[in-house]
Copies of this chain bind each other. A is one copy, B any other.
Amino acid sequence: MSAAPEVIVAVEVADIRFPTSLQLDGSDAMNPEPDYSATYVTVRTSGGAAGYGLAFTVGRGNDVQVAAVRALAPLVVGLPVADVLGDLGGFSRRLTGDSQLRWLGPEKGAIHMAAGAIVNAVWDLYGRREGKPVWRLLSELTPDQLVDLVDFRYLQDALTRAEALAILRRAEAGRAERTALLLERGYPAYTTTPGWLGYSDDKLVRLAKEAVADGFPLIKLKVGADLGGDVRRMRLAREAVGEHVHIAVDANQAWGVDQAIDWMTQLAPYRPYWIEEPTSPDDILGHAAIRRAIAPIKVATGEHVHNQVMFKQLLQAGALDVLQLDASRTAGVTENIAILLLAAKFDVPVCPHAGGVGLCEMVQHLAMFDYVAVSGTMQNRIIEYVDHLHEHFTDPVHVRGGRYLAPAAAGISARIHPSSVAEHRFPDGPVWSVDGDGVSGPHPLAGAPGLSTARTAQ
Contacts and interface: CB of A to CB of B under 8 A. Distances in A.
Given A64-B64, A99-B452, A111-B64, A457 B90 contact: yes
A456 B102 CA distance: 11
Contact of A100 (B35, B283, B457): B35
A153 B256 contact: yes
A120 B232 CA distance: 44
Interface string A76-91: 0000000000000010
Interface string A109-134: 11111000000000000000000000
A456 B258 CA distance: 43
Contact of A64 (B68, B304, B450, B453): B68
A58 B98 CA distance: 11
B253 A282 contact: no
B157 A450 contact: no
Given A34-B100, A111-B61, A106 B285 contact: no
Contacts of A452: 98-100
Contacts of A46: none
From A30, A110, A154, A283, residue with most partner B Cβ within 10 Å: A110
B154 A110 contact: no
A81 B453 CA distance: 18
Interface in A19-69: 30-35, 57-61, 63-65, 67-68
A233 interface: no
B154 A280 contact: yes
A264 to B, nearest CB: 15
A107 interface: yes
A310 interface: yes
Given A282-B309, A285-B313, A313-B284, A64 B67 contact: yes
A293 to B, nearest CB: 11
B284 A449 contact: no
A97 B75 CA distance: 32
Contacts of A93: 457
A363 to B, nearest CB: 17
Interface of A: 30-35, 57-61, 63-65, 67-68, 70-71, 74-75, 90, 93-94, 97-113, 152-157, 253, 255-258, 279-286, 289, 304, 306-307, 309-310, 312-313, 316-317, 449-450, 452-453, 455-457
25 contacts: A30-B99, A30-B102, A31-B103, A33-B100, A57-B100, A59-B100, A61-B71, A61-B101, A61-B111, A63-B71, A64-B64, A64-B71, A68-B110, A75-B449, A99-B455, A106-B253, A154-B257, A154-B279, A154-B280, A156-B257, A157-B289, A282-B306, A283-B309, A284-B313, A286-B313
Closest 6 CB pairs of A and B: A109-B109, A67-B67, A59-B100, A60-B100, A74-B449, A157-B257
